[in-house]
Amino acid sequence: MTRARAEQEERGSGGSRRFTAVVICLFALVVFGILASLAIGRYPISPEQILLALRERFIDAVRTAAGGVFGAQFPQVERSGLLTDQMRAIFFNARLPRVLMACMVGCCLSAAGASYQGVFRNPMASPDILGASSGAAVGAALAILLELDARMVMLFAFTASLLTIALVMLVSGTARGNKLLRIVLAGIMISSLCNAGTSFIKLVADPNDILPEITYWLMGSLAKTRPENLAFVAAPMAVGLAPLILLRWRINILTLSDEEARTMGVNVGLVRVAVIVCATLVTAASVSVSGLIGWVGLVVPHLARKLVGNNYRHLMPASMLVGALFLLVVDNISRNLLLTEIPLGILTAVVGAPFFIWLITRKKESI
């Protein structure tokens, strides 16, 4: 009897043991992927050199911290002869930030996509559904048109993305009819306005230098990731992801009807707005540094659903890990396949679209 019950609970909860196994595997793959990606590149850095460089930095950081606490100066760690200054510069200023950023952006876009799919009860929802990307695009295009520096482009994109969603929520709040439908409709309207704005900026931009830069931004890339970008997006990403993780069980209940959710004790309006705001925050932070990268937020949650089921308690962490791994791999292809960088947006579409077709045409498993 007790054994039957334990079995029943195990089987019923979508396989908690299976989930644990999947998460451990994914986590190991992400860690391995990060280490491997650090070694891959036009400028070869061996795994040994990577570990040496990381060790140097770590000991330096500890010493500086200890120095701050004890008010004493510790001598610098001895520099290994295996590393050159150029190697250090490439490793710490370009490769490491880029690899970490690929994981963070992949993780955020997937978490946002999974959240939007639940909140809007629509398996085809993606992070662009409300126009977060279109908003970011018009902001970035404007900053590039005004010939502002890279930091300002990021800041403009981030702010414009958030403003767009704020506008969408404001418009949908005053519109009448079905709540979910009017949020989505307001999103479609306002993102189409944003697209018009972007097109206009491209029209007036100098076709010799400004226009290509805008076009390149719109195709998405992590090539220009620097440590300061990482520092800029880390906070909004953390602030957005934490509530999504904490509220993940409740997203399940939002996928039912509003009436059901309320009679089950969930404050539907509040949880929904919280999830939308957080998902938008991480999307805005992601696209502000990466440009437009489609497909990740749509395909990855579906892959995660195949792995661990639809229960958001398992789906959310699984989506985040799969997303990190997916974009890491795609970014490696982007920077290593050809002599010139291939924009990420193109690659994610090339990988994502056939993959999605495979997902939806595959024979359904019957549970």
267 contributes a contact to another protein by CB under 8 A = yes
Nearer Cβ to another protein (122/332)? 122
Please report whether residue 252 would count as binding another protein according to CB under 8 A: yes
- Taking the least distance from each CB to another protein, the nearer of 149 and 259 is 259
State in angstroms the smallest separation of the CB of 233 from another protein. 24
As a whole number of angstroms, the distance between CA 168 and CA 153 comes to: 22
Say if CB 71 and CB 281 are below 8 A apart. no
| Cβ neighbours around 294 below 10 Å, total | 20
Q: How far is the CB of 217 from another protein (least distance, A)?
A: 34
In the list 67, 123, 212, 354, the residue contacting another protein (rule: CB under 8 A) is: 123
Q: Give me the least distance between CB of 248 and another protein, in Å please.
A: 7
Asked if 76 interacts with another protein (CB under 8 A), we say no
Q: Cβ neighbours of residue 57 under 8 Å, at least 6 residues apart? A: 92
- Can you tell me which of 71, 75, 207, 265 binds another protein, judged by CB under 8 A? 265
Q: Nearest approach, Cβ of 348 to another protein (angstroms)?
A: 24
> Is residue 5 part of the contact set for another protein (CB under 8 A)?
yes
Decide if 138 contacts 160 (C-beta within 8 A): yes
CB of 180 to another protein, least distance (A): 11
Please report the DSSP string for 279-346 in residue order.
HHHHHHHHHHHH----SHHHHHHHHHHHHH-S-HHHHHHHHHHHHHHHHHHHHHHHHHSSSSPPPHHH
**In this complex, which beta carbon is closest to another protein, that of residue 13 or of residue 93?**
13
**By CB under 8 A, is residue 272 in contact with another protein?**
no
Q: Which of 82, 260, 337, 354 binds another protein (CB under 8 A)?
A: 260
Q: Tell me the C-alpha to C-alpha distance, in Å, between residue 120 and each of 60, 257, 267, 293, 316.
A: 48, 11, 16, 21, 16
Which residue among 68, 85, 259, 361 contacts another protein (CB under 8 A)? 259
Between helix 132-145 and helix 150-174 the angle, nearest 10°, is 140
For the bound state, the minimum distance from the C-beta of residue 76 to another protein, rounded and expressed in Å, comes to 45
Inter-axis angle of helices 227-246 and 312-336, nearest 10: 160
Considering the rule CB under 8 A, would residue 122 count as an interface residue with another protein? yes
Interaction of residue 257 with another protein, rule CB under 8 A? yes
273 binds another protein (CB under 8 A): no
**CA contacts within 13 A on the Cβ side of 219:** 15
By CB neighbour count within 10 A (0-12 exposed, 13-18 middle, 19+ buried), where does 133 fall?
A: buried
Structure-block tokens of residue 249: 């069980």
Q: How many residues bind another protein (CB under 8 A)?
A: 36
Residue nearer to another protein on the CB measure, 93 or 122: 122
Query: Is residue 306 near another protein by the rule CB under 8 A?
Result: no
Does 248 contact another protein by CB under 8 A?
Answer: yes
Smallest separation, CB 115 to another protein (Å): 13
H helix intervals, the chain = 2-12, 16-39, 47-70, 85-90, 96-119, 132-145, 150-174, 179-204, 210-219, 227-246, 248-254, 258-263, 268-290, 296-308, 312-336, 344-361
**Binding-site member from 11, 55, 151, 306 for another protein (CB under 8 A):** 11
- Residues of this chain that bind another protein (CB under 8 A): 5, 8-9, 11-14, 118, 121-123, 246-250, 252-253, 255-257, 259-260, 262-267, 305, 309-311, 313, 366-367
